Amino acid sequence: MTDQMPQVNAEFGTTPVIEFPTPEAPKGLKVVELTEGDGPIVRRGDTVTVNYHGVVWGKDTPFDSSFDRHQPASFGIGVGQVIKGWDQTVPGHNVGSRLVVSIPPEYGYGSRGIPQAGIGGEDTLVFVIDIISTR
């Protein structure tokens, strides 16, 4: 599965650089742990603080990046505060981990997408997520 996933620099805390192996995204929701952290495990219902970088599969420019803003984001995980793809892939990983997640529309923004962000209804999203803390 990892050969279908984008290649990302694995160093936690560095702005992600994403290279796509194929023009077509893999089917389904996929997550690869690039760096395994040694902090507490994230559980559903926790409030996590993360840095993230989100792009549409195959694109260079992020539609959203807390790395670019130099401002991590905090929210409840596994409780519907973020897209399903995050709720289903972030819990179970440790603080200090870097993940790359491929999220098809049904686990992202659905068939409507978010046109103002450049996200179409058929677009697969790719997020690189650094888990900073959980509580």
* pLDDT value of residue 8: 96
Q: Is residue 1 predicted with pLDDT exceeding 70?
A: no
Q: Look at residue 2 in the predicted model and tell me its pLDDT.
A: 62
The pLDDT tens digits for 49-58 are 999 999 999 9
Any idea what DSSP says for residue 21? S
pLDDT band with cut points at 50, 70 and 90 for residue 3: confident
Mean pLDDT on 31-52: 98
Place of tokens 């401002």: 71
Give 61-128 as a DSSP string: S-SEEHHHHT--EEEESSSSSS-HHHHHHSTT-BTT-EEEEEE-GGGTTGGG-BGGGTB-TTPPEEEE
Query: What does the block give as tokens for 34?
Result: 């690039």
Q: Which domains does the chain have, with CATH numbers?
A: 7-134 (3.10.50.40)
Average pLDDT over residues 88-105: 98
Q: Which of 125, 135, 128 is nearest to 33 (CA)?
A: 128
Distance (Å, whole) CA 77 – CA 65? 18
pTM across the whole model: 0.96
Tokens of 124: 């697969």
Query: Is it the case that residue 34 has pLDDT exceeding 80?
Result: yes
The 10s digit of each residue's pLDDT in 9-25 is 989 999 999 999 999 99
Whether pLDDT at 82 is above 90: yes
Q: Give the number of other Cβ atoms within 10 Å of residue 9's Cβ.
A: 14
Separation between Cα atoms, residue 6 and residue 99, nearest integer Å: 11
| Separation of alpha carbons 106 and 131, rounded Å | 24
Segment 27-35 shows an average pLDDT of: 97
